[in-house]
Amino acid sequence: MRHPILFAILAPMLFAWPCHGQSGGDIPEDVKQSIHARVDGGRNMGIVVGVIDEAGTHYYGYGTTSRSGGETPDERTVFEIGSITKVFTALLLADMVVKNEVALNDPISQHLPPHVAAPRRKNRSIRLVHLATHTSGLPRMPAKVTPASRDNPFTDCTVEEMYDYLSGYLLVRDIGQHYEYSNFGAGLLGHILALRAGTTYQELVKTRITEVLELPDTRITPTQSMNLRLARGYQDGFEVRNLEFQALEGAAALRSTARDMLRFLEANLGLVHTLLADALRLTHTPRSRQGTGGMQVALGWHVRLQTDRAILWHDGATGGYRSFVAFDRESLRGVVVLTNSAWSVNDLGFHLLDRSYPLVEVRPSIAAELRERIAEEGIDAAVRLYRDVKEGAPERYDFRESELNRLGHNYLLLGEIGTALSIFRLNVEAYPDAPGPYASLGEAYLALGDTTLAVVNTMKSLELHPRNRNAVEMLGRMGVDFGGRPEN
């Protein structure tokens, strides 16, 4: 079902009706057209956008919540919101700071069990504020914890494994000096705050945020009602299972809806009175630079600086979902974009706040065509199709390296290693100077049990990208004495 559905809801009313015209919060036609192109071209399964400003809230949904028997997504459809969870974790920190339960500059060791040795560098300690601003020096993920499934990277990491990895980690960056996005750091922060409060992370989010702001559909463990409204996640047409956690929930564990997200933005914009007002304002203050494009980092939020204002934003990415929230305090306007597909929707969100921000050119992915050809005729026919179309009509499809990379990993997850190998070899052929295809080919050879070729291709990836810490970790797991660490 790919019929659009459009609602305008004027807070605090509970009824919805079709919206016509171009009022302040309405969804622009170019955004609707771009959404249609993404869904009809096979990029996204379904998309829902929401806008809030002083005039009220507006939603627009298109596509489907499931390939089999789904419905058009709307403001009550449930999605994984991935790393937007980090904004909630940072708000928990701010709330506890406002209530004098912790301080931003508390060393993390102050709130961890005695047997956990927090890493130090140059006699400096990692502090809570460093975890909230991605300046702790901790890596993106605890690489020594190898998940059983690539599409569920958090499920096998227990609390004790998290502690062991933290205690043994050697920092390679100065604390507080460099931005390095860290799921591990954000997850650790959520765990520390829950320890301090004597409860679980989920319960802490519930009592401190979602109950206060009336966000009934923002949870880790979904209610029965939420499960009935859950959009199934997809990557290149393959359905992907939902994330599971034992630890690190503060990094990416929450599910939510467009309606809840706009209520959350409403509180951040100060359009409603809330007991969290002081804590929300505390999360908005920029505290470090990201290092690229003038971007700054606040507590949980990224800050995109414009000539006359700042846009606070965060996005999320899990196996089969992408999400985006942002707001502009100057114009009192906020946006949310949610999709049950693994293709970014950030440009839609930024464009809704800043019309000068360009919408990406949407072309169908060659991966979708290859998936259909593989299902009908096999991998050899798909490889021939790729070469023929790329030579004869390259403008018809998106041929970026990432397209084949994702497709190959989908087959790797399914255990179809031979198909994955052929796709990764084709990607190496098409992009011989890109590190990603070699790293993926190395993973496929490792899954096949060919350690020699796994090492050869991983080393090639590292040669092309010397700062690739994941390649070093992978070589270590294969018993290769690399004799050093990636350059900083």
Q: CA angle at residue 254 from 117 to 341, to 5 degrees?
A: 120
Q: Which residues contact 323 (CB under 8 A, 6 or more apart)?
A: 79, 80, 81, 82, 84, 315, 316, 317, 336, 337, 338, 339, 345
Strands (DSSP E) contained in 286-413 are 288-289, 296-297, 302-305, 310-318, 321-328, 333-339
Q: CA angle at residue 345 from 342 to 349, to 5 degrees?
A: 155
Best CA proximity match to 150, nearest among 359, 415, 478, 425: 415
User: Is 472 inside any structural domain?
Assistant: yes
Q: How far apart are the first and last CA of the chain?
A: 49
Q: Does one domain contain both 91 and 238?
A: yes
Instruction: Show the tokens assigned to 277.
Output: 């007002």
Tell me how many domains the chain contains.
Answer: 2
User: Is 136 inside any structural domain?
Assistant: yes
Distance CA 348, CA 142 (A): 32
Helix or strand (DSSP H, E) at 132: helix 128-132
User: Is 113 inside any structural domain?
Assistant: yes
Give the pLDDT score at 1: 41
The CATH code of the domain that includes 165 is 3.40.710.10
CB 102 within 8 A of CB 223: no
Distance CA 131, CA 122 (A): 18
Return phi, psi of residue 401, to 5°: -55, -35
Distance CA 251, CA 79 (A): 16
Q: Does one domain contain both 422 and 290?
A: no
Helix or strand (DSSP H, E) at 61: strand 56-63
User: Is 160 inside any structural domain?
Assistant: yes
Distance CA 73, CA 64 (A): 6
Instruction: Show the tokens assigned to 75.
Output: 């403001």
Distance CA 285, CA 292 (A): 18
Instruction: Show the tokens assigned to 110.
Output: 């102050």
Give the pLDDT score at 13: 27
Give the pLDDT score at 307: 65
Q: Look at residue 209 and give its three-state secondary structure.
A: helix
Residues of the domain holding 424: 366-477
Give the other-Cβ count within 10 Å of 13's Cβ: 10
Q: What is the pLDDT along the chain (488 residues), one digit of tens a residue?
A: 444 444 333 333 222 323 322 233 489 999 999 999 999 988 899 999 999 998 899 999 999 999 988 899 999 999 999 999 999 999 999 999 999 999 999 999 999 999 999 999 998 999 999 999 999 999 888 765 555 555 556 666 788 889 999 999 899 889 998 999 999 999 999 999 999 999 999 999 999 999 999 999 999 999 999 999 999 999 888 899 888 877 899 999 999 999 999 999 999 999 999 999 999 999 999 988 765 667 899 999 999 987 678 899 999 999 899 999 999 999 999 999 999 998 899 999 999 999 999 999 888 889 888 989 999 999 999 999 999 999 998 888 889 898 899 899 889 988 999 999 999 999 999 999 999 999 999 999 999 999 999 999 999 998 998 877 778 777 887 888 655 444 44
Q: Look at residue 5 and give its three-state secondary structure.
A: strand
Q: Does one domain contain both 404 and 291?
A: no
Q: Does one domain contain both 287 and 422?
A: no
Q: Does one domain contain both 288 and 428?
A: no
User: Is 192 inside any structural domain?
Assistant: yes
Name residue 170's amino acid: L
Q: Does one domain contain both 387 and 287?
A: no
Q: Does one domain contain both 242 and 111?
A: yes
Q: Does one domain contain both 384 and 470?
A: yes
Last residue of a domain, one of 302, 323, 342: 302
Distance CA 451, CA 249 (A): 33
User: Is 393 inside any structural domain?
Assistant: yes
Give the pLDDT score at 142: 79
Residue 449 backbone class (left: φ over 0; alpha: ψ -120 to 50; beta: rest): left
Helix or strand (DSSP H, E) at 235: strand 233-235
Q: Does one domain contain both 138 and 232?
A: yes
Distance CA 227, CA 477 (A): 38
Distance CA 63, CA 66 (A): 9
Q: Which residues contact 387 (CB under 8 A, 6 or more apart)?
A: none
CA 130 to chain centroid: 20
Return phi, psi of residue 291, to 5°: 105, -10
User: Is 89 inside any structural domain?
Assistant: yes
The CATH code of the domain that includes 370 is 1.25.40.10
CB 201 within 8 A of CB 219: no
Helix or strand (DSSP H, E) at 280: helix 277-284
The one-character DSSP state at 148 is S
Best CA proximity match to 288, nearest among 445, 173, 418, 453: 173
What angle do the packed helices 417-430 and 401-413 form, to 10 degrees? Answer: 170
Q: Look at residue 430 and give its three-state secondary structure.
A: helix
Give the other-Cβ count within 10 Å of 108's Cβ: 22
Q: Does one domain contain both 295 and 420?
A: no
Instruction: List the beta bridge partners of residue 180.
Output: none
CA R_g for the chain = 23
Instruction: Show the tokens assigned to 421.
Output: 């190998």
User: Is 372 inside any structural domain?
Assistant: yes
Best CA proximity match to 184, nearest among 138, 144, 220: 138
